[in-house]
Structure 1
């Protein structure tokens, strides 16, 4: 594996960096770099801006409207977006359901949905988890009973991220309750405006409305919105989760947050010296930086593997585990660096309703909410404990 960048790669990085500096709206950059909350309009505007250059879906091949970048170029793009403070492109459409449609969808589904995902016409959400089916996703109970040319869907999904904005949901439903639990599941595309769907907010510990519970009561879904074959949805779900877990590593964002942590620790004093010069705290930062460097090398290994035409395997679970552990450790050290001031909680400042925080320390004000929000990372996308089981089975044969 060659982890060095070629002159062409360096030129590509320079072009991307120049474009971001010229086109990334300052208001979005400032929100991201200062840990303020993005709203639905922020995500939609950034998606449409990128879509104007076919950059909203950088992993897509040219035949579907993507830029046709290779794995190395995509990695560089992710790094530069993180460094510049660009919002993420929400993954539910471009990175999760779109690959499933490209591989398993009908021609009609691809021709209709993919252009709308690319230009941001449709906002997608994920209908996987249920109140009794999280890490054991195959135990889901939401039913879809076929009646003529429609399915009638009844049940409940939960932790539906940003579902309050969504136009469409890709949803796992049980179509054969008599089959083994992995074999009776189908993959449906559901219009969120269909009668019988109710979206209720779940307000999380950081007082944000990011996730929801979604109820289905006799919801009619056209059979044409079934992806692939009936009762084969578990195959498509696993394919999707491999793409989701690889993206969760977010090395570029962690590198940016590490730089922020170091600045915090230089600005705070302990016994008359910058905290970053304190041997104990400096050792914690150094250990975390080593973990992040090792994670980046693993990501580059996966990039090199993808460049050779090999899809993500158990490495996706490794990236998910270590990536989320690094993200959580960063928020913990930020909290430690700030001390008691980090406990102040100022939702109005986070929402942009107030220019400065009530404490007068704009770096400290978002950190409590930031810390609590990142407790979720080791759970979503399949909990880290489940990922360890996957690694044990696929690599060690246990």
Structure 2
């Protein structure tokens, strides 16, 4: 990729992003020490995606009875009783090409209905440990661990912990002259974290160009708000950073706005617009990763599902069983995996039964995509979760 050399604003953006250095993370994008090039992206849909809308079981005998006005009349074809929501055109195409698989009726071990606690459990993978399961995976890999970056204003819990990681976010800062840069270099020359980060920022032109381009896109997102139309800007920023020479091999992205308590809609409406934004975001990520897509796995997950029936406001409330997706050129897709419990019986009389554990999906990706030993996964990454992992998900 071509672009301008690192300018002063981009340099200070890197320094601003290095605020997470206080948690032990340099803000440079150095070449992965493992040199595996196996890209892993985790997209967290914050607010609880309605999996029964994204991947609708229209062939289940109780579907229309229970969903009422939220029921789809048709959708994009998938296996068994399911169709993809009409807004998920790109997702459906990935499924047809064998680059996407879905896991329905899935949840973590968390059974309450708090967004904050649900997201914490999703990202920590446990109730007893307060760092992220992805950071623990990096720690287990040690010197062979790939570089990882959190995209956003703060480091997501999923990446917090002992292993060094980075974060990237735009910053509106004044330009710096040569004297200021020289002073910064002198100030941080002996700092074991900020010194190398600053030096790397000055030396790596390609990564800097990616960051500058991403910054412009993120400025556009800030100007246009943070709704579904902005999802693609965020994922394209992640793709640019990861595809740059020396870019990280892992990224975590949070997309907000999935708490559809009111006027959710069916084929059209609020949720349909969000799903269309997600669909375009995933298309943008693939586009920016370009040739590296074939070595990429993308997890799309949410903290829990939503109620089967609509509430009085035409929306859905916090539920249990939901849906997750795994996509990428490295994925053996074209399938819906796991058990489908059907809608004849509901969890607590209101929710889709959580027949599958989300941790099983995480374990399979870590083992098959990054080559971690399952014994290490059980011992150090998910020590409280005894469920086995899926297999045969990665090509």
TM interval, short-chain normalised: under 0.3
Could you tell me the TM-score, scaled by structure 2's length?
Answer: 0.25
Could you tell me the TM-score, scaled by structure 1's length?
Answer: 0.24
- Give the number of the structure with larger relative contact order, counting CA–CA contacts within 8 Å between residues 6 or more apart: 2
